[in-house]
Amino acid sequence: MTLPRAVQRASWTVLSANHSAFRARQYSSRASVPEANGSAISPRWLSDTKARIGKCITFGMPESLVDEAGRILRVLGRDWRELVAGSEGYLTDPKRAGLHRQNIVWGEQDSMGHVNNVMYVRYAESGRCNTMRNFAKYVDPVHRQKWEDMLTNRGIGLILKSITVDFKFPMTWPDRISVYHKLRTCPDEKTTSLILDVLILSENRQRPAARCLEESVVYDYRLGKKSPMEPFMVKELKNTFELQEAAKRENLAKVQRLEKQVRDLEKRSWDRPDAKEDFGSAQNS
């Protein structure tokens, strides 16, 4: 049976990463994603799902199932940011991202060959500033100057009160990162601080390299004290929170659909009662 080139290449990528792991690792037939209860998917869901599809392909499937596997792999390759980050409520549109596919620089590594821990804080900081500028440039250009002033001491601005970083794995050069911020709670007219979750996403690994939690105080530099935000800011941030919740629901549902499709591939290939592995022409030589 001849595999379509795109599917063959995808399955070879999965296999070549660690061929022995395919034989040794046991893949659960149970769903590896949560029910639609708002919780995050496993950070390894994407790689595990690709490996499960690769196992089905190498076991041997009818051409119709190979085509189905190819379609699933194309969706994973095209929408992986939305599936990984969007399912948590992060807005992955480049016009919303704090950093989008930014190259890691060789000099950002330490003597151990890993991206220095300090850089993750800088990525988060740059992402936060760019997120505010995105409001000015794309989301609410009518109030462009006041959004940009949030990064200055000319009026109402944001002062970083605290930031914590949870490192997931050491990134190395070369790689690209995307940084996304999301509101933890929906703000209102009395809000004087913003708590933001931050996701630093590695393109090489296609999973989070670090997570941050930031708290920024809304500060009126003219009065020298904490202050609520202006009404138009509250309106746009409320709308952003609603978009986050919609993205979470939409992408979690997409993950659930993909999970069902992959499980169906397994049931119709290696996990069916009468399954016998297809060893190809070598079996008959």
pLDDT value of position 275: 78
Q: What string of DSSP letters covers 36-91?
A: SSSPPPPTTHHHHHHHHHHHHHHH---HHHHHHHHHHHHHHHHHHHHHHTGGGT--
The two tokens of residue 208 are 């989070």
The 10s digit of each residue's pLDDT in 128-138 is 999 999 999 99
Whether 196 contacts 181, CB under 8 Å: yes
pTM: 0.84
Asked whether residue 222 carries a pLDDT value surpassing 70, the answer given is yes
pLDDT value of position 188: 96
* Residue 1: band (very low, low, confident or very high) from pLDDT cuts 50, 70, 90: very low
* Residue 274: band (very low, low, confident or very high) from pLDDT cuts 50, 70, 90: confident
Averaged pLDDT of the chain: 87
Backbone angles phi, psi at 19, to 5 degrees: -65, -35
* Residue 61: band (very low, low, confident or very high) from pLDDT cuts 50, 70, 90: confident
CATH of 44-268, one of 3.40.50.2000, 2.60.120.380, 3.10.129.10, 1.10.940.10: 3.10.129.10
Spatial CA neighbour of 92 closest among 206, 256, 259, 235: 206
The 10s digit of each residue's pLDDT in 198-212 is 999 999 999 999 999
Instruction: Kindly state the percentage of the chain with pLDDT values over 70.
Output: 83
Average of per-residue pLDDT across 78-95: 97
How far is 108 from 88, CA to CA, in rounded Å? 28
How far is 241 from 89, CA to CA, in rounded Å? 9
Asked whether residue 13 carries a pLDDT value surpassing 60, the answer given is no
pLDDT value of position 281: 52
How far is 133 from 265, CA to CA, in rounded Å? 45
Asked whether residue 238 carries a pLDDT value surpassing 80, the answer given is yes
pLDDT value of position 276: 77
